[in-house]
Structure 1
Amino acid sequence: MKTRARACLFVTSLFVTACSQQDRVAVATPAVAPVADAFQREHAAWVRERAADLGKPDGWISLIGLHWIEPGTHSVGGGEENAIHLAIAPDRLGQVEQRADGLYFQPTEGVPITADGTPLHGELKLTPEGAGGGTKLEYDGGKGQITAIKRGQRLALRVRHADAPARLAFHGLDFFPADPDWRVQAHFVPHPAGRTLPIASVIGTVTDTPNPGYVTFEKKGREWRLEALGDPEKGLNLMFQDQTTGKLSYGVGRYLHTDPVAADGTVVVDFNRAYNPPCAYTDYATCPLPPPENRLAWQHGNGQRERLAVLAGEKKYALAKH
């Protein structure tokens, strides 16, 4: 019996069918199934976490407005007479003024508003969103939220509300079936220090963004390349378009974040975790666009272009209205 078991293990590793099907299952399946099951569980957990993050009371789908501010003083509130009309808010929330040194907010007397958790009773200069955070105004008992953003030289109020129709209608996301074959081993090639890449946005701004290098990977018998943003020691940010863009996946493209690059330059690019930018869910986002270099296209000698279809990651958002 021991001799038969050893022989069956040997021929199974060579894909020989001399042993019975029952013997092969007994030897081969336990080594493969746990790995595949773990991959599926991890991916499902990641998808749930992403959907939960989008669906938070202050997630991207809670956006109800993006209001660009001109110099001067402007009334803010839910009433139609306000210069800045909010979709969900008390009739008169306050007023905002753009001055040479920034944006200031003055609440309407008697309307409860907090600034970073503290009741606001007088004028306050708003710090725009950024790496260090930013001023957060809250109203409607915390359900409404206003922050300032700066894009180039322009300032705007970004408004969220927990009762946003898009949030109330949100019931999850649609992904391609998780496939381990789309979890590819890539190689990071660094650029000379200080290199930048011009990144355009959906609102027309262009920002020179640090571009530390690019990744190469093989798929469908060819080598493909994606320019990377971010910090290799913390993880790369990849923005790309592929053959599914505008068809099965979002028309602007998709984003992907990797783990840190290993000391030998290798990095795993898991296309199963490619996700839509915020502008897939709302008209009030200012998303960066994938650079032309990241269209995952192969130039043939005859001038024809072959595009890679990434049948992995997040699909189009079904409830998008824009």
Structure 2
Amino acid sequence: MISHHSLRWFIIKRGDKYAIRLRDLEGEYLKAFHGIDHFPADSKWKINAKFIPTVGKKVTIIDITGRSYQEDSPGLLEFQVDGKTYRLEAGPGETKEDFFVVFGDATNKTTTYGGGRFLDTKGVNPDGTVTLDFNKAYNPPCAFTPFATCPLPTKENKLPVAIPAGEKYAGHH
């Protein structure tokens, strides 16, 4: 990161392309920001998902601008909600053990951001499961500024079930 007064520049990667993101700590969007509403924490939404490795699998990610790129998908995360089974394609996380998930659900465009939400995991548990704590689902940067280039959920990651957990969305931009 490079900084000068209230400005911060850092590099982001989208597929095999790089870009520079600029943040202004004195910008109008940040000054108008008053926090993020969220659903009450609920243990129902802390779920252990079965990890199904997909060695060498690539998925096509489309970002909010319509550009696409290929990304490794280390595995599928299979879990149940109210007796029904769902799967999410995991992407690489902060470390080589962790996963990053971009997902959509039936709350999008009503109480959560229409472009989906993000969820980080802490890798595979000793029993072969991955903990999906949807209470920690968070809005992507594009929920806060029209200048972000966020990835959208893949078709497989658009869940037909409502997940009323994590951050809500109230039209920040």
Answer yes or no: same fold by TM over 0.5: yes
**2:31 counterpart of 1:168:** yes
The residue correspondences of 1:5-20 to structure 2 (distance < 5 A) are none
**Aligned pair in 2 of structure 1 residues 149, 195: CA closer, same or farther (>3 Å)?**
closer
More strand as a share of residues: 2
- Say whether residues 1:257 and 2:131 are aligned partners: no
Shift of 1:160: 2.1
Task: Give the SS at the match of 2:106.
Answer: coil
How many correspondences in the alignment? 172
- Conservation of the 8 A alpha-carbon contact between 2:102 and 2:116: yes
Residue 58 of structure 2: aligned partner: 196
Q: Is the 8 A contact 1:151 1:205 kept in 2?
A: no
1:311 correspondence with 2:164: yes
> How has the CA–CA distance of structure 1 residues 221 and 279 changed in structure 2, closer, same or farther, with 3 Å as cutoff?
same
Distance 1:208 1:164 in 2: 33
- Match status 1:211 vs 2:73: yes
Q: Which has the higher helix share?
A: 1
Contact 2:15 2:70 in 1 (8 A): no
TM-score by length of 1: 0.49
Letter in 1 for 2:168: K
Contact 1:152-1:205 at 8 Å conserved across structures: no
> Cα RMSD between the aligned structures?
2.2
1:63-107 C-alpha deviation (Å, 9 max, x unpaired) = xxxxxxxxxxxxxxxxxxxxxxxxxxxxxxxxxxxxxxxxxxxxx
Q: 1:253·1:276 contact (CA, 8 Å) conserved in 2? A: yes
- Long gaps (5+) in structure 2: none
* Residue identity matched to 1:320: H
Amino acid at match of 2:166: G
Q: Does 1:223 align with 2:85?
A: yes
Are the structure 2 counterparts of residues 266 and 153 from structure 1 closer, same or farther at C-alpha, using a change threshold of 3 Å? closer
Change (3 A) 1:153 1:188: closer
Partner Cα separation in structure 1 for residue 84 and residue 17 of structure 2: 43
Structure 1: which 5+ residue stretches go unaligned?
1-133, 297-306
Deviations 1:235-274 (A, max 9, x none): 2111111111111110000110111102331111111111
Change (3 A) 1:152 1:237: closer
For residues 155-188 of structure 1, the C-alpha deviation after alignment (integer angstroms, 9 at most, x for no partner) is 7653322211111122211101110111111110
AA at the equivalent of 2:151? P
Distance 1:269 1:199, change over 3 A: same
Larger RCO (alpha carbons 8 Å, 6+ apart)? 2
| Alpha-carbon offset, residue 312 of structure 1 | 0.7
Match of 2:100 in 1: 237
Change (3 A) 1:233 1:200: same
Measured at CA, do residues 285 and 185 of structure 1 come closer, stay the same or move farther in structure 2, by a change above 3 Å? same
- Say if 1:255 and 1:150 are closer, same or farther in 2 by CA, change over 3 A: closer
Matched, 1:276 2:139: yes
Preserved contact between residue 202 and residue 289 of structure 1 (Cα < 8 Å): yes
DSSP 3-state at the match of 2:146: coil
For 1:234 and 1:219, the matched residues in 2 are separated by: 25
For residues 295 and 168 of structure 1, do their structure 2 counterparts lie closer, same or farther at Cα, with a shift above 3 Å needed? same
